[in-house]
Amino acid sequence: MKRLFITLLVAIGLISLRSSAQVSINVNIGSQPLWGPVGYDHVDYYYLPDVESYYSVPKRQFIYFDNGRWNFSASLPSRYSGYDLYNGYKVVINSRDAYHNFDNDRVRYAKYKKVKGQKAIKYSDDPRYYEVKGHPHGMPPGQAKKMHSKGISKGHGGEKGKGKH
């Protein structure tokens, strides 16, 4: 009887542990830049194949290789002054320190060099992006979230739910 009681207690404990586990969804739409591509609720890095550089969304910094080392800066170096962030292709990479995988990324995403046509957040009618600072349809983050959670959409629903490339 004692053995059955202990087994029952252990089973109840395991069930309660499983039921108390939470799923965490990290959404960083509001911190993505206006030139970022639409369709992503969370982005750690963008890889920019045209300039072989990265952009860290959480840190709001470009990361580029120069003179044998990685540089972190609020802007791209002057050699890329003519590069148009709104028109260049951006590959979403959700991993830690994405630039450590540069040799693979440079080869894997070379096919996206000079590719145009990604819709930028700035030009999106999706209410999820209205909270991005500077968006033409901008509104307070709480209001944008209310609209999104109720399923209210002013746009055409174009590019939703795109995954990692």
Query: Mean of the pLDDT values across residues 63-71?
Result: 96
> CB neighbours of 70 closer than 8 A, spacing ≥ 6?
63, 64, 99
pLDDT above 60 for 91: yes
pLDDT above 60 for 139: no
Name the residue with tokens 């206006």: 34
Query: Mean of the pLDDT values across residues 135-153?
Result: 52
Looking at residue 1, its pLDDT comes to 61
* H/E segment holding residue 142: helix 141-150
Taking the whole predicted model, whether its pTM rises above 0.85 is answered as: no
Q: Rounded to the nearest 10 degrees, how much is the dihedral formed by the CA atoms of 156, 158, 32, 48?
A: -150
Looking at residue 6, its pLDDT comes to 56
